[in-house]
Amino acid sequence: MFRLSAIAAILAASCSFTALADQFNIKASSSIATAADTLVLLVSPDQLTANPQLEAISKQENFTAAHGKTLSWLAPSAPYSQYQRVLLLGTGDTAKLTSYQASLLGATAARTLKGSSASSIQLDASLIQAPIGQAELLAQISHGVDLASYTFSRYHSDKKPQKVLNLHLLTAEQQATEQRLAQISALSEGVALARDLTNEPGNGIY
């Protein structure tokens, strides 16, 4: 059996050794983050054809907005010229977009942005009308970001300084999104703790 004292010690230390190479500070807001240098724009295949500008660049790069596919657009033109880069993130058929698929989108975004020069990121899913609703969509994206950012580095001798990326979730449903983010954050922390316990050597927890 686990000793309660050992589990308590791991719980207390978990935040120190569940280190992220790039750590995301996630917040929901109804206002555009004017200081953001990167825009993550969720798009579906239908929206590409409805937007001549996005359709043109997508055709150049053979981007179809299939689920989980990405296209990086550097030095974008108006109306996105305030950003250094735009990351188009395909959702596939939005009518079939589930919570799990939304979390996979978050994981894709996190892996794509980790190690990049981005520091402040605006994520815009306002074009997406998914059956799960916008608050759930953004919360699951946040969950995917958290899960994909996990690394276990307690015993690493060459720990690198953490880089904090500010991720702003643009939403017209700020209160509902914040409430769902609080719930999903607790789940993410539980998953991280379970991973910590799995990665710990046996003599550290018995």
The model's pLDDT over 143-183, given as tens digits with 9 standing for 90+, comes to 999 888 877 666 666 666 667 889 999 999 999 999 999 99
Residue 2 counted as domain residue = no
The amino acid at residue 111 is: R
Nearest one of 76, 67, 65 to 38, comparing CA atoms: 76
Query: CATH number, domain at 56?
Result: 3.40.220.10
Residue 8 counted as domain residue = no
Contacts of 143 (CB under 8 A, 6+ apart): 103, 106, 184, 187, 188
Predicted TM-score (pTM) above 0.85: no
Give me the pLDDT at residue 156, please: 60
**Helix ranges (DSSP H) in the chain:** 4-17, 45-50, 52-61, 99-113, 134-149, 174-199, 202-205
Domain count, the chain: 1
Residue 4 counted as domain residue = no
Give me the pLDDT at residue 15, please: 41
Angstrom distance (rounded) from CA 84 to CA 75: 5
Give me the pLDDT at residue 150, please: 76
| 99-139: pLDDT as tens digits | 999 999 999 999 999 878 999 999 999 999 999 999 999 99
CB neighbourhood size of 142 (10 A): 27
- Residues paired with 43 in a beta bridge: 90
Residue 43 counted as domain residue = yes
Residue 13 counted as domain residue = no
More confident position, 146 or 189: 146
Residue 104 counted as domain residue = yes
Give me the pLDDT at residue 196, please: 67
Residue 3 counted as domain residue = no
List the domain range (segments joined by +) for residue 95. 33-199
Q: Which token pair is 197?
A: 């316990």
Angstrom distance (rounded) from CA 152 to CA 185: 18
Give me the pLDDT at residue 86, please: 97
Q: Look at residue 93 and tell me whether its pLDDT is greater than 90.
A: yes
pLDDT band at 92 (very low <50, low <70, confident <90, very high): very high
Residue 20 counted as domain residue = no
